[in-house]
């Protein structure tokens, strides 16, 4: 029995389920039904937060070792192709010292990196010189852009369909080998060092071809410029996010849903897919001039603002849009991997009824990230000696009963 009064096997199951289920209540019911162990939701929360805190400390020690130049690489051989995909999720917080109930609620950002290796070989020719059929299908493009633009929840069927389409697109380029996840509620500076330490540990910086993918946010490219650029990573703008801007701008130029708007979108899509940023910028500039400048404070869906936003987006990211080259190197041009990872993290920490204390959210995120990683990180954590700790509250071990705990 460990310091918490549970066997190592029961503790592992409890903590894993607490970080995987949608809530601590669901995890408690899962343990009762599947493991025949009665642990209250409150106690599961305490156990998982303690273990998650220990794992966060281990991560921080790894970062310290990296910054001191003493972090040991876990892999001797370098991967052929490696990517670091960066993005952010959201979760809600509440005041730290306000007692029970929700006080001072607010949304905070969850920063996520998806580090992946691939089995892929470079090609002298572009393996897919023409845009995929899905990007030239009106119904699919309309749904895809609506999903990415919407801040609300998405329906299960739509998510599943989108994931299937993206998986097929990724298989055309390369086969994924191993994914590891870095996620934190800390600020962008801390996140950058965590990503850098993970890249070093896995030897991703020694890959023959390597890239950093993101949706264009300045925080993403600041991490890239500070930690990955000098190591030879190539910056790639996620193509699907670019597509959303082009589709919206075409509708702003010619009218949403019109034949003229679709033809304009198809032209811009072809230029973007083939990396022709000069005519793309020229076309967007011409539209902006025709529509006129957007006044300050104009609505987000104003035609002038939509077109100006698209032009600004392309200008800011044109150095990250050489897609034919990326495809020849066997690199993905979509950051769907990190978006899928964020959905899995969001299922645990995001919700209209979930309000976290910051340290507690960080602990749960560390456990969830470890189990989402495919390099045995969770097993390594459990094999390490755990620090001594007093019992966490009252616990009950045994067959479940109908009595509340």
The pLDDT tens digits for 106-132 are: 888 999 999 999 987 788 899 999 999
pLDDT at 164 over 60: no
Choice among 169-178, 247-256, 310-319 with the minimum mean pLDDT: 169-178
* pLDDT beyond 70 at 172: no
Query: Among 98-112, 209-223, 242-256, which is the least confidently predicted range?
Result: 98-112
Among 82-91, 147-156, 250-259, 328-337, which stretch is predicted with the lowest mean pLDDT?
147-156
Give residue 397's pLDDT. Answer: 42
User: What is the share, in percent, of the chain residues with pLDDT greater than 90?
Assistant: 74
What is the band of 401 on the pLDDT scale with cuts at 50, 70, 90?
very low
How many domains does the chain fold into? Answer: 1
Predicted local distance difference test score (pLDDT) of residue 249: 97
Residue 249 lies in a domain: yes
Helix or strand holding residue 118 (H, E) = strand 106-119
The owner of tokens 């022709």 is 276
Structural domain includes residue 190: no
Least confident window among 20-29, 51-60, 116-125, 250-259 = 116-125
User: What is the chain's mean pLDDT, rounded?
Assistant: 88
Q: Decide which of 146 and 16 is more confident.
A: 16
User: Is 266 within the bounds of a domain?
Assistant: yes
* Inside any domain, residue 68: no
> CA-CA distances (angstroms) from residue 54 to 51, 277, 317, 338?
5, 48, 39, 25
Q: Is 301 a member of any domain?
A: yes
Q: Give dist(CA 294, CA 297) in Å, integer.
A: 9
Identify whether the C-beta of residue 169 lies closer than 8 Å to the C-beta of residue 334.
yes
Domain presence at residue 294: yes
Q: Does the residue 170 lie in any domain?
A: no
70 found inside a domain:
no
User: Is residue 357 pLDDT above 70, yes or no?
Assistant: yes
**Residue 404's pLDDT is what?**
32
pLDDT of residue 160: 40
**Nearest in space to 26 (alpha carbons), one of 35, 36, 34, 18:** 18
User: Residue 400: its pLDDT value, please?
Assistant: 40
Summarize the confidence of residues 335-347 as an average pLDDT: 93
Q: Give the pLDDT of residue 234.
A: 98
Domain holding 276, by residue range, is 131-151+239-330
């Amino acid at each position: 029995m460990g310091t918490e009064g549970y066997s190592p096997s029961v503790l592992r199951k409890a903590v894993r389920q607490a970080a995987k289920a949608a809530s601590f209540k669901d995890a408690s019911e899962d343990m009762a039904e599947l493991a025949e162990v009665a642990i209250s939701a409150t106690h599961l929360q305490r156990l998982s937060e303690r273990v998650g805190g220990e794992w966060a400390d281990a991560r921080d020690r790894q970062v310290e070792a990296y910054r001191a130049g003493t972090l040991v690489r876990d892999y001797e051989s370098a991967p052929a192709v490696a990517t670091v995909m960066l993005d952010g999720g959201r979760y809600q917080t509440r005041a730290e010292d306000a007692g029970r109930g929700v006080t001072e609620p607010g949304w905070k950002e969850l920063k996520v990196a998806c580090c992946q290796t691939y089995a892929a070989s470079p090609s002298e020719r572009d393996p897919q010189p023409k845009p995929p059929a899905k990007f030239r299908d009106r119904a699919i493009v309309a749904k895809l852009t609506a999903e990415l633009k919407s801040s609300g929840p998405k329906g299960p069927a739509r998510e599943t369909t989108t994931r299937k389409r993206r998986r097929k697109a990724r298989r055309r380029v390369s086969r994924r080998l191993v994914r590891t996840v870095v996620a934190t509620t800390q600020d962008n500076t801390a996140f950058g060092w965590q990503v850098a330490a993970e890249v070093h540990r896995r030897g991703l910086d020694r890959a023959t071809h390597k890239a950093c993918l993101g949706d264009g946010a300045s925080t993403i490219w600041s991490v890239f410029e500070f930690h990955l650029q000098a190591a030879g990573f190539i910056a790639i703008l996620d193509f699907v996010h670019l597509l959303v801007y082009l589709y919206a701008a075409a509708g702003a130029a010619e009218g949403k849903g019109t034949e003229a708007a679709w033809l304009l979108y198809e032209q811009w899509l072809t230029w973007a897919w083939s990396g022709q940023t000069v005519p793309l910028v020229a076309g967007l500039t011409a539209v902006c001039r025709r529509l006129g400048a957007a006044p300050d404070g104009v609505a987000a869906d104003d035609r002038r603002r939509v077109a100006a936003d698209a032009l600004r987006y392309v200008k800011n990211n044109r150095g990250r849009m050489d897609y034919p080259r990326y495809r020849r190197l066997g690199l993905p041009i979509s950051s769907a991997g990190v978006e899928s990872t964020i959905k899995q993290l969001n299922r645990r920490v995001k919700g209209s009824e979930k309000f976290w204390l910051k340290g507690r959210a960080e602990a749960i995120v560390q456990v969830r990230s470890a189990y989402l990683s495919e390099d045995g990180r969770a097993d390594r954590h459990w094999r390490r000696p755990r620090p001594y700790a007093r019992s966490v509250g009252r616990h009950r071990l045994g067959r479940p009963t109908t009595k509340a705990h």
